[in-house]
Amino acid sequence: MEPSRLFRTSWTVLAVAGLLMSGCSSGSSSSDSSASPNAVNRQPQKKADAVQVLQPLPAAVPAGLRPYYDQKLSWRECGIEGFECATLKVPMDYANPADGRDVKLAVSRRTATGPGKRLGSLLVNPGGPGGSAIGYLQSYAGIGYPEPVRARYDMVAVDPRGVARSAPVTCLSDSQMDTFTQIDQTPDDRKEVDELVSTFKDFATGCQDRSGKVLGHVSTVEAARDMDVLRGALGDKKLTYVGASYGTFLGATYAGLYPSRAGRLVLDGAMDPSLPALTMNRDQTAGFETAFTAFAEDCVRREDCPLGKGTAKDAGRRLQAFFTKLDKDPVPSGEDRKLGESLATTAVIAAMYDEGAWTELRSALQSAMDGDGSGLMRLADLYYERDADGSYENLMFANPAVNCLDLPAAFNGPNDVRKALASFRKASPVFGTGLAWAAMNCTYWPVEATGRPSRIEAKGAPPIVVVGTTRDPATPYRWAQALAGQLGSGTLLTYEGDGHTAYGRGSDCVDSTINTYLLEGKAPKDGTRCT
């Protein structure tokens, strides 16, 4: 993948970071309107709740894994100035490391630029699941993280198993993916429901046919174990890590498995690992309403707002009416594909990740309402990682592959969705119906889930900084509160604002706080708030 394709704008990075529990044509979801942005007290889950606790692995490296930890990485030029690349071998199945089925993971780094004493390696992950960490490193983190951090750390990324350059999961051809992204996710009758079910089944079958060998071994637990192998191969005693969105789940899982080897961990735009899939999807749906409300309140005050004047609710009703119109009568986009309701919804969702995209969204919506869908199509294509030549990266294949292995499906079938529709619509009048049906994406998955909702406590780990944004459009603020409450050493840093994640997005308070932690090991006081 050419990183410049994925990271053409800063908000595209955020959209990829926020996929999480996405369905086929409605990306991710977001912050929760029921969580008070001014609340200081976290919301730890009561231990009496029937949720298991992630147990640490033995501190000693098992003999069967020692050859993996002791491997020497052979660094070579990547073709991108300043970056090196290598290949890391890990076992396909950690329960049977001697069976000869290794997975080759792509790794990249940019060595510390100095001055100052080198502090070791800083591993970064942009989230997804399915976002390329190497693409993120080479196009943003390795050159865009604060200079004092890059001066003292080797910036490192590994594409997790199943993602991008690391045994990527594939499911559909490009033409099949075009059809998949346009399927109607607000079915009006039994026939359309059957078509949606058939689409999910075909997608799952395609993943099994094309990627069956790795499909059962792309879980977050396995990816976290891979990170520990990488830590060993890099020669670091402890892991230093910055993870965004889903990357917080990956980082928290690492801390839960290896608390004694956790170093300075920043979990930005945090997930709550104790939630089942249904709750997670519904929480995210409520968050999209929060994100859209922020956009709409800004839009109706502007002369160029395509959703008219009045209140945010008025704007929401007009957007719903436009989606309904597109469902019946798609508009041209300047190519063979027409812009229908599903792609238009994806486009709006994609632009919710950063307020910097709101101007483009207003323009694209107005053009679509005037009969030109090219602007919204571009936003949807950026979200799906669809290139101008019609080819797709593997983001939308890796995403459900990881999600469906990590948690049992939210629904067992259409009847379950119908029962939940009212609660999803209550969470978001604008997006609720589509996101409820999208949550059926794991229902027909060919591999049984190996993970379960789990509290992560990581007892014995040093202070872990958990960052939450009050109106985050992909990870509800209360998830950050919950994760910080679960972690034995969690400390909550709150950014009062819009957009997905907080580090490196313009808040001097957030950036200086995290920089101090990474460079000096001084964690912020629990409950610190930034604007």
* Omega before residue 115 within 30° of 0, cis: yes
Locate 197 and state its tokens.
Answer: 């079910």
> Which amino acid, residue 456?
I
Range of the domain at 295: 3-35+172-210+276-438
Report the candidate in 288, 215, 282 with the shortest Cα–Cα distance to residue 473. 288
Locate 163 and state its tokens.
Answer: 């993602």
Least confident segment among 34-43, 281-290, 476-485: 34-43
Residue 471 maps to a domain: no
Residue 23 maps to a domain: yes
pLDDT for 21 equals 53
**Any idea how long the chain is?**
531
CB distance 149 to 15 below 8 Å: no
pLDDT at 34 > cutoff 80: no
pLDDT at 219 > cutoff 60: yes
pLDDT for 513 equals 98
81-140 pLDDT, tens digit each: 999 999 999 999 999 999 989 999 999 999 999 999 999 999 999 999 999 999 999 999
Q: How many CB atoms lie under 10 A from the CB of residue 343?
A: 25
412: exposed, middle or buried (Cβ count in 10 Å: 0-12, 13-18, 19+): exposed
233-246 pLDDT, tens digit each: 999 999 999 999 99
CB distance 30 to 473 below 8 Å: yes
Residue 301 maps to a domain: yes
Mean pLDDT of the chain: 91
Q: Is 432 helix (H, G, I), strand (E, B) or coil?
A: helix
Q: Is 332 helix (H, G, I), strand (E, B) or coil?
A: strand
Sequence-distant (6+) residues with CB within 8 A of 466 are 248, 267, 270, 480, 483, 484, 487, 490, 491, 492, 493
Q: Compute the average pLDDT of residues 411-425.
A: 98
8-state DSSP, 107: E
Residue 70 maps to a domain: no
Q: How confident is the model at residue 50 (pLDDT cuts 50, 70, 90)?
A: confident
Residue 201 maps to a domain: yes
Report the candidate in 80, 126, 105, 176 with the shortest Cα–Cα distance to residue 392. 176
494: exposed, middle or buried (Cβ count in 10 Å: 0-12, 13-18, 19+): buried
Sequence-distant (6+) residues with CB within 8 A of 126 are 13, 16, 17, 132, 133, 136, 141, 244, 245, 247
pLDDT for 19 equals 58
Please give the torsion angle defined by the CA atoms of residues 283, 289, 292 and 297, in that order, rounded to the nearest 10 degrees.
Answer: -130
pLDDT at 262 > cutoff 80: yes
Q: Compute the average pLDDT of residues 424-450.
A: 96
Which residues form the catalytic set? Answer: 245, 472, 500
Residue 427's alpha-carbon distances to 203, 422, 430, 478, in angstroms, are: 28, 9, 9, 15
156-205 pLDDT, tens digit each: 999 999 999 999 999 999 999 999 999 999 999 999 999 999 999 999 99
**Total domains present in the chain:** 1
CB distance 361 to 353 below 8 Å: no
Residue 263 maps to a domain: no
pLDDT for 10 equals 40
**146 dihedral zone (left: phi>0; alpha: psi -120 to 50; beta):** beta
Residue of higher predicted confidence among 441 and 11:
441
Residue 199 maps to a domain: yes
pLDDT at 3 > cutoff 60: no
Q: How confident is the model at residue 389 (pLDDT cuts 50, 70, 90)?
A: very high
Residue 77 bridge partners (DSSP): 84
Give dist(CA 284, CA 395) in Å, integer: 19
Q: Where are the alpha helices (DSSP H) in 351-476?
A: 358-369, 374-384, 395-406, 414-427, 432-438
Sequence-distant (6+) residues with CB within 8 A of 55 are 256
CB distance 91 to 102 below 8 Å: yes
Residue 10 maps to a domain: yes
pLDDT for 36 equals 32
Residue 86 bridge partners (DSSP): 107
Residue of higher predicted confidence among 8 and 343:
343
Give dist(CA 180, CA 198) in Å, integer: 11
Residue of higher predicted confidence among 502 and 16:
502
